[in-house]
């Protein structure tokens, strides 16, 4: 779980034991720093080493990364600011995350360092012509599906980050991907 600390400044990440509802660990950031609004996105890497917390701040999202293996209670976690909706992010593995932006880009970034690695593109153009509305991983982790306000959905190869297919023909924005993605 994650939340703002006192007066809305700083972030606290807690690990809760669901068996007995006890807080087993808490890591706090510096309360002199503000990361934006109340966290609205929290996810873990598959190995549960990193907690990625997304805090909306105007039209951008500040992603704050906590290393849960630290023994410190107070840390200065790395951050990255991206022009996106907090929900438009997808952890690919223990080191990388994809985030879809408001201008149609899909940014691959490194979780531990919060550095941009790569931008997915469609023949040299941004991934989509309008804001990304959703991003999901296929159950077998082979494909990434993105949807956009431009009325398209696109399928990407998880390993190569190359575009595989454009799903066109929608009259309006495509804003949701069901959980049961099946690529045939």
The mean pLDDT of 158-180, rounded to a whole number, is: 75
Averaged pLDDT of the chain: 89
The mean pLDDT of 153-163, rounded to a whole number, is: 95
Q: Encode pLDDT of 6-28 as tens digits.
A: 776 789 899 888 899 899 899 99
pLDDT at 178: 56
Q: Encode pLDDT of 69-116 as tens digits.
A: 999 998 999 999 999 998 899 999 999 999 999 999 999 999 999 999
Structure tokens, 21: 């509802």
Q: How does residue 33 score in pLDDT terms, banded at 50, 70 and 90?
A: confident
- Name the least confident of 5-19, 109-123, 152-166: 5-19
Is 2.40.10.480 the CATH number for 85-184? yes
The answer to whether residue 175 scores a pLDDT higher than 70 is no
| Domain definitions of the chain by residue range | 1-82, 85-184
The answer to whether residue 176 scores a pLDDT higher than 70 is no
> With a threshold of 0.85, does the pTM exceed it?
yes
Share of residues in the chain with pLDDT > 90 (%): 68
pLDDT at 105: 97
Nearest Cα to 106, choosing from 94, 118, 91, 92? 118
- 3 state SS for 102-148: CCCCEEEEECCCCEEEEEEEECCEECCCCCEEEEEECCCCCEEEEEE
- If one counts every other C-beta atom within 10 angstroms of the C-beta of residue 68, the result is 15
């Amino acid at each position: 779980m994650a939340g703002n600390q006192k007066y809305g400044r700083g972030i606290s990440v807690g690990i809760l034991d669901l068996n007995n509802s006890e807080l087993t660990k808490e890591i706090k950031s510096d309360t002199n720093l503000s990361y934006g609004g109340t966290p609205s996105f929290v996810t873990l890497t598959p190995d549960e080493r990193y907690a990625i917390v997304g805090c909306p701040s105007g039209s951008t999202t500040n992603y704050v990364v906590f290393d849960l293996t630290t023994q410190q209670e107070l840390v200065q976690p790395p951050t990255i600011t991206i022009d996106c909706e907090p929900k438009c992010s997808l952890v690919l593995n223990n080191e990388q995350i994809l985030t879809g932006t408001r201008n149609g880009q899909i940014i691959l970034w490194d979780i531990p360092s919060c550095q941009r690695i790569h931008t997915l593109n469609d023949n040299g153009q941004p991934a989509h012509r309008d804001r990304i509305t959703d991003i999901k991983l296929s159950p077998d982790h082979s494909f990434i599906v993105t949807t956009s306000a431009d009325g398209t959905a696109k399928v990407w190869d998880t390993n190569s980050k190359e575009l595989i297919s454009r799903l066109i023909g929608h009259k309006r924005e495509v804003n949701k991907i069901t959980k049961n993605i099946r690529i045939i």
